[in-house]
Amino acid sequence: MPTSKKKPLVIVTRKLPDAIETRMMELFQTRLNADDHAMTKPELVEAVRTADVLVPTVTDRIDAAVLSQAGPSLKLIASFGTGVDHIDLATARQRGIIVTNTPGVLTEDTADMTMALILAVGRRLSEGERLVRAGAWKGWAPTAMLGHRLWGKRLGIIGMGRIGTALAKRARAFGMSIHYHNRNRVREEVEQELEATFWESLDQMLARMDIVSVNCPHTPATYHLMSARRLKLLPAHALIVNTSRGEVIDENALARMLKAGELAGAGLDVFEHEPAVNPKLIELENVVLLPHMGSATIEGRLDMGEKVLINIKTFADGHNPPDRVIATMF
C-alpha cells in the first residue's frame, strides 16, 4: 500500500481533460499519454508491471493476460468510465487489486443522447439532413420524409438503473408510456412517479413495444441478450436504440432484419466490435450511427476525472475508495 511519504506512481492510458491531468500531476507521480494514442498490449503490460495505480479507459482491454503480468506494486485500477467489462474483475480480485469506476456522473448525458437517438430514428432526422446536404431536397410535400410521433408510444427499457430511470423521466415528458425489464423491480414510488410497468419476462415485453432502449451493462449474462430470436419478437414497426454496450445486441441479426423491413429502424451509439462498424449497418438508411459519444460532454468528462482523483487519493491515504466495484448487474 502506498504511504503518504511516497506518492504513488499513476499511469494514465489516454489523454484526459487538462484540469484533471494538472491536478493529477500535483497529487501523484504521474505518467500521462500526451499524444493520446491507444496503448498496445505490450504497453499495457509494461504499465501494470510498473504502476502503483493504473487509470485505464473503456477501450483498454485489461484482461487476464495483462493482469497476470502485473507487478507487486499495482494495487488499484481506477478506471475512467462507468462500465467495467473491459477489466477482468475476477483476476484483479485474485491478485488483490482494487477496481474503481466513475458511476453516476454520466447518467444525464447518456440519457440525453438516448432520447436524442429515439427522436432521430423516429423522425428520420439523419435521413433528412443527408437529403439536404446532398442537394436532393425538392421542397415540402405531404408524403415526404414521414416518420412517427412519439406521443402515445410504448417505450421498453432494458435495464432500469440510473440511466434507464433518467431516460424514463425524459420519455414521460414526450408522452410515452414506460415499460421496463430489470433483474430487480424498482421501488414502488419510482414506478408510481414514472407510471412504469414492470415485465418479469423480457420476451413478453418486447412483443408489445414500439421502441426499445438497451440500457444494461455488458456482462456474460447480457452478451447477445437481444439475440436473433428476441429481435424477431419485436413488431415490424418497432425501433431499437442502444447507448450501453454493442455486445448486448446480435448486430448481424439486427442488420438482416432492418434490411428486410422486419424492424423499422435503429439508433446505435455503440457497436459489437468498435471502433469497427458492421458494414451491413452502414449501408442502411434507417439506422442512425454515432461514434460512442453518449457521455461526451465537457462537464461529464471533468466529473469523471474528479471521481478518479478522489478514488486514487482515498486509496493512497489508506482508505477504501468510494467507487470500488463489487458486482455488475442490471
Q: Which cell is 121 given?
A: 430514428
Tens-digit pLDDT profile for residues 197-253:
999 999 999 999 999 999 999 999 999 999 999 999 999 999 999 999 999 999 999
**pLDDT > 90? residue 2:** no
Q: Is residue 218 annotated as a catalytic residue, yes or no?
A: no
Look at residue 289 and give its three-state secondary structure.
strand
Q: For the chain, what is the mean pLDDT?
A: 95
Residue limits of CATH 3.40.50.720 in the chain: 9-105+297-316, 107-289
Return the CATH number of 107-289, one of 3.40.50.300, 3.40.50.720, 3.90.1660.10, 3.30.420.40. Answer: 3.40.50.720
Separation CA 187–CA 198 (nearest Å): 11
Separation CA 218–CA 321 (nearest Å): 23
Starting at the earlier edge strand, list the strands of the sheet with 76-78.
Answer: 29-31, 9-12, 53-55, 76-78, 98-100
Helix (H) or strand (E) holding 300: helix 298-316
Tell which residue, 85, 101, 132, has the closest CA to residue 244. Answer: 85
- Helix, strand, coil tally for the chain in percent (to 5): 35, 15, 50
**Exposed, middle or buried: residue 198 (CB in 10 Å: 0-12, 13-18, 19+)?**
middle
**pLDDT > 70? residue 3:** no
Q: Is residue 154 annotated as a catalytic residue, yes or no?
A: no
Separation CA 62–CA 54 (nearest Å): 10
pLDDT band at 6; cut points 50, 70, 90: confident
pLDDT band at 5; cut points 50, 70, 90: low
| Marked catalytic residue, from 148, 292, 306, 324 | 292
**Exposed, middle or buried: residue 224 (CB in 10 Å: 0-12, 13-18, 19+)?**
middle
Record the pTM: 0.89
**Where do the DSSP E strands lie in 159-210?**
177-181, 196-198
Tens-digit pLDDT profile for residues 118-168:
999 999 999 999 999 999 999 999 999 999 999 999 999 999 999 999 999
| Marked catalytic residue, from 170, 274, 306, 324 | 274
**pLDDT > 70? residue 330:** no
Helix and strand counts by DSSP (H, E) for the chain: 13, 12
CATH number assigned to the domain covering 9-105+297-316:
3.40.50.720
Q: Which cell is 80 given?
A: 475512467
207 touches 235 (CB < 8 A): yes
Residue 326 has what pLDDT? 82
Q: Is residue 251 annotated as a catalytic residue, yes or no?
A: no
Percent of the chain with pLDDT over 70: 97
Tens-digit pLDDT profile for residues 265-305:
999 999 999 999 999 999 999 999 999 999 999 999 999 99
Separation CA 209–CA 178 (nearest Å): 10
Tens-digit pLDDT profile for residues 304-319:
999 999 999 999 999 9
11 touches 52 (CB < 8 A): no
| Marked catalytic residue, from 230, 245, 272, 301 | 245
Residue 249 has what pLDDT? 98
Separation CA 1–CA 188 (nearest Å): 43
Q: Which residue type, as a one-letter code, is found at position 158?
A: I
**pLDDT > 50? residue 195:** yes
